[in-house]
Structure 1
Amino acid sequence: MTSPRFTGRIAVVTGGASGLGRVTAEGLAAEGARVVLFDRDEAGLAETAAKCPGSITVAGDVTSAADQQRLAEAAAALGPVTLLATAAGTLGPTLGFLDISEEQWDRVFDINVKGTWLSIRYILPLIKAAGGGSIVTFASTAGLIAQPVMPAYAASKAAVTSMVRSLAKGEAPNGIRVNSVCPGSIWTPMLEATFAGAGEERAKREAEFLARHPIGRFGKAEEVGAAVLFLLSDAAGFITGVNLPVDGGRLA
């Protein structure tokens, strides 16, 4: 048997109440990390924490600097923080470019871009103080390829991929690696909401999404989680600035 990859490490996971954030947190905890979970959903946080021995929870809004500061303070109290996974995000409306309201556009960017930036802004100093570590953000294949029915989401995730490259270059001298995963269609509550929102057109939308993936199925949350854990681990020690598709061949 191999030794757990994250024994003795402290990791922060935003969006930890469900979906890809929960899977990431559970994977980290299973391999020895102590996890600090952050999300607005207190009930979901409690469910995740029950599966992550030694974890603590901080309820808050990813777009709030005050809440992010509370998260950083709680994490710092545990000891040196070396790992961060920013899974908090929103899909937003599935509308054409001219149909999205200013309020809807701003909300998608507040959560996906500002929220990611704030998480890194408050946790990065802790990782620097610890002498280095690894950050993985959650982008999307929608940020790498045209997505006409979700332009706000696609633009926000493209911003995250650019943020990753900039951070990776800037923080490499400090021993900090920064990467992202770019999932395709992964069977999570977010994907289910996308299909449900299509109403009577659900079957058609589901078929359209499935056809984008040459592998012939939707991805599993655990498959994205495995990629995140690899990028966080020392096995990926020479990998930084990468936006890794986990997409069943969509971008091939």
Structure 2
Amino acid sequence: MDTQRFKGKVALITGAASGIGAATARRIAAEGGTVVAADRDGVAAEVLGKELGGRGYRLDVTDPDRTEEVVGAVTAELGSIHVLVSAAGVDVCDTVPNTTPEQWRTILDVDLTGVYHSCRSVLPGFIAQGGGAIVTISSAIGTVGERNRSAYCAAKAGVENLTRAMALDHGRDGIRANCVAPGLIDTPLIRNGKVGGEDDPGAMQAMVDRHHALGRIGQPEEVAAAIAFLASDDASFITGAVLPVDAGWTAQ
């Protein structure tokens, strides 16, 4: 295996301060890429970017002007962006009647519209340079649904079909767009027990037992490995795919 798959490439990663985003930043940097870590926690993004020999920016993906500004700054400083990993996300656990309009807007704004903003900002550059790779992050429950996660399910299903649409629209531009759909992953959200709308950490293990054929929670590095594959030239003939990294959840 070529362990320097991203040598000479610049990767912009949103939601890079923790969890899957941070693991992906580390994986791509380890494979020779220049990582631009972007997160609404700008301090954490700058620390991680510096640690990995790249850059870090404060970015709230719900702000289209700031997203354009960051992409412009990165392009001006580093010449181009070759990979976008859109990993920023939030969650609210509840049913439709119990989800407030404000919560609904927040989830859709970050988890779906934020992906649109990020992709819309990088695509002109990708088209101009003749190619690029986009990897978005959905969820097992963007495919099959789950109780008490109405807004999150809706947003992640939207991410999957948005990714397919971009793959169809821009394949002839040399651009690949793919999606990774994780199961339960050991991120800060899960470690804090905030799953299924419950504060009980035992709720997480109950979901693992119910959904994961492998019988354990996943690690961010396992998702990062799949993201790195899809973003690399090893996946040069793959576009429009939704790759489950879910321990068999959606096989049921």
Q: TM-score range by the shorter chain?
A: over 0.9
In structure 2, the residue matched to 1:237 is: 236
Match of 1:32 in 2: 32
1:75 paired with 2:79, answer: no
Counterpart position of 1:91 = 91
Quote the residue 2:10 is aligned against.
10
TM-score by length of 1: 0.94
2:17 counterpart SS class: coil
Distance 1:136 1:4 in 2: 19
Q: 1:108 to 1:195 in 2, by over 3 A?
A: closer
Describe the shift of the 1:220–1:3 C-alpha distance in structure 2 as closer, same or farther (beyond 3 A).
closer
2:37–2:49 contact (8 Å) kept in structure 1: yes
- Give CA-to-partner distance per residue, 1:43-76, whole Å, 9 cap, x none: 32133224311x1111121100111011111121
| Aligned-pair CA distance for 1:196 | 10
Q: CA deviation at 1:181?
A: 0.2
- Give the whole-Å Cα distance in 1 for the aligned partners of 2:52 and 2:204: 35
Q: How many Å separate the matches in 2 of 1:169 and 1:195?
A: 34
- In the TM superposition, residue 206 of structure 1 has moved relative to its aligned partner by 2.9
The separation in 2 between residues aligned to 1:209 and 1:96, in whole angstroms, is 21
One-letter code of the match for 1:128? I
- Residue 161 of structure 1 pairs with residue 164 of structure 2: no
What one-letter code is carried by the residue in structure 2 that aligns with 1:216?
Answer: G
Structure 2 counterpart of 1:17, one-letter code = A
Q: Provide closer, same or farther for how the CA distance between residues 70 and 191 of structure 1 changes in structure 2, counting only shifts above 3 A.
A: same
Shift of 1:111: 0.3
Task: Give the C-alpha shift of residue 123 in structure 1.
Answer: 0.8
Which residue number corresponds to residue 142 of structure 1? Answer: 141
Contact 1:18 1:48 in 2 (8 A): no
Normalising to structure 2: TM-score of the pair? Answer: 0.94
1:211 is displaced (CA, Å) by 2.3
Q: Give, as a single letter, the amino acid of the residue that structure 2 aligns with 1:244.
A: L
Question: Partners of 2:10 and 2:2 in 1: how far apart?
Answer: 20
Offset of 1:38 from its aligned partner? 1.0
Q: 1:4 to 1:184 in 2, by over 3 A?
A: same
Provide the C-alpha distance between the structure 1 equivalents of 2:3 and 2:25, rounded to a whole number of angstroms. 18
The answer as to whether partners of 2:139 and 2:182 remain within 8 angstroms in 1 is yes
CA, structure 1 residues 158+143, in 2 after alignment: closer, same or farther (shift >3 Å)? same
Q: Percent identity?
A: 38
Cross-structure match for 1:19: 19
Once superposed, which parts of structure 1, at least 4 consecutive aligned residues long, lie more than 3 Å away?
A: none
Asked whether the 8 Å contact 1:213–1:248 carries over to 2, the reply is: yes
2: distance between equivalents of 1:103 and 1:246? 30
Q: In 1, distance between residues paired with 2:32 and 2:74? A: 16
Q: Distance in 2 between matches of 1:96 and 1:133?
A: 38
The count of residues paired between Structure 1 and Structure 2 equals: 249
Superposed counterparts of 1:96-135, under 5 Å: 96-135=95-134
